[in-house]
Structure 1
């Protein structure tokens, strides 16, 4: 191996080590805070959002990702939705919204991350044979208690250039409770003002390879744009799904126009 390649490899290893150390420090700090506020016994949901937002911002920062809301993000009660590009979306969205995340119940049993998820007031969903109707009912019950929930209606990640066809089954929870649907869109931009190719986690990319790409990336900014909320009253699930699809599609186009050096021409397509 040439000296130049050795230096590049060493810089990568040092960079990864620094970021992993930062992530470990953030997780340890989150565990200490959760212990201090009694979140392991009973998550204090009324005051958790500000702790979650701080933790998520630090977690994204440990990977070198800076988060910039290009408009003030409202903090009102509602059913929140976001486009889905990467596993990094969780700390990005969690840093700006007051909503609690959804998760499969078994994740709550994971070591470390499961404990953090429980302490963060995650809404653990019991799934049975793909019964999304039952999930919507569980979400509605949570919304009725006065707490916000966020999910990714595309149900899969993308390369960040467009909004895939969204799935509106869980929007029934907003109809049943009458709470607004608060959409937001996000994108990851590199130092050249282009959509980052390192942050998207989709297709055949493995988690291990994605983690390496993120650790090796530099100067990535996550831009977040909150969109006009949707009032579910007077609409059925199909109508709400179509409205949300259009709003998110237009919103992503606007976000790209505002933050990219050369906005992506395909950002309005729907797969």
Structure 2
């Protein structure tokens, strides 16, 4: 995993006025109530679900989905879905543009994210990630065998994992090269014969007149500042999620070929969907 900085820095955040702060309050306060209230409900349900169901989570992922749908509604970001999430054993991969991806992809389905280990230590976000069953991985090659085993165990337990092969988020206007490392777990015995990988394309459309990159979160951008800028937008845009046909792992030669195939499908759909708005600061 690495941080992407791009060829051009983000536009300077606009100075927030009274109207902006009013929108932040009207959206942010109920958003916090929904997110952290949902977290409390989820943790209470886990007290019953965990001893009864073990690694299986038949109830709490649906709480996460409901909370994320409510969060997007409160923010004002509409989302459209094309295709359907896979139903068989396997995992999903998607392009990564923003912290908003977590809400967007959870709102469409029940899924467990794969995230860098540092996120577990972030205040607020780390708590949410741990509670919702996120798999944390370290940026250390020596950890690869343990991570492969973790992926295998979670998949065999019926969990559908979703990871971002780009390894970082971008400005929402491009697809970065896919790294093949995390695909290796699905070529182990017991998974290669039964698993499929489903590519998922996420495309953000900025509101009219806004910087096309407004939803992108990259480089040295601070989460708090970007969060406030999104909440302060007078009008929100739209995000489109496209679920592509799953790719059977057994039909692909190796992890690099699988990563390239997923990248190609996502890249083609992304560029077909993305508007040609010019970047204006």
Q: Same fold (TM over 0.5)?
A: yes
The equivalent of 2:273 in structure 1 is: 255
- The normalised TM-score by structure 2 is 0.79
Separation (CA, whole Å) in 1 of partners of 2:49 and 2:136: 16
Please say if 1:86 is aligned against 2:98: yes
1:26 equivalent in structure 2: 34
Q: Report the TM-score when normalising by structure 1.
A: 0.81
Cα contact 1:104–1:126 (8 A) shared by 2: yes
Any stretches of 5+ residues in structure 1 without a counterpart?
1-7, 265-271
Q: For the structure 1 residues 194 and 241, does the alpha-carbon distance in structure 2 shift closer, same or farther, using more than 3 Å as the test? A: farther
Q: Structure 1 residues 251 and 114 mapped into 2: Cα distance closer, same or farther (>3 Å)? A: same
Assess, with a 3 A threshold, how the Cα gap between structure 1 residues 10 and 193 changes in structure 2: closer, same or farther.
closer
Count of residues in correspondence between the two structures: 253
Tell me the equivalent position of 2:230: 214
Q: Quick one: structure 1 residues 26 and 237, their matched pair in 2 at CA, closer, same or farther if it must change by over 3 Å?
A: same
1:58 aligns with 2:78: no
Aligned counterpart in structure 2 of residue 244 of structure 1, from 262, 266, 272: 262
| Alignment CA distance shift 1:226-1:27 (3 Å) | same
* Residue 155 of structure 1: aligned partner: 167
- After TM superposition, list the pairs within 5 Å mapping 1:69-218 onto structure 2: 69-105=81-117, 107-108=119-120, 112-125=124-137, 128=140, 131-176=143-188, 177-178=191-192, 179-192=195-208, 196-217=212-233, 218=235
Q: Note if contact 2:205-2:238 (Cα within 8 Å) is conserved in structure 1.
A: yes
Q: How far is 1:99 from its partner?
A: 1.7
Q: Distance in 2 between matches of 1:195 and 1:49?
A: 34
Return 16-25 or 203-212, whichever deviates more: 203-212
CA distance in 2, matches of 1:109, 1:159: 24
CA distance in 2, matches of 1:203, 1:246: 24
Q: Give the Cα–Cα distance (whole angstroms) in 1 for the partners of residues 66 and 19 of structure 2.
A: 29
SS of match in other structure, 1:167: coil
Unaligned runs of 5+ in 2: 1-15
* Residues 39 and 120 in structure 1, CA contact (< 8 A), matched pair in contact too: no
Q: Residue deviations 1:177-206, cap 9 Å, x none?
A: 131101101111133398832110113423
C-alpha deviations, 1:65-107, integer Å up to 9, x for none?
1221133334443211110111111111111132201234564
Q: Give me the whole-angstrom Cα distance separating, in 2, the residues matched to 1:67 and 1:263.
A: 19
The correspondence for 1:15, drawn from 23, 26, 44, is 23
Show the counterpart of 2:9. none
Distance 1:154 1:241, change over 3 A: same
Q: Which residue of the partner structure matches residue 248 of structure 2?
A: 231
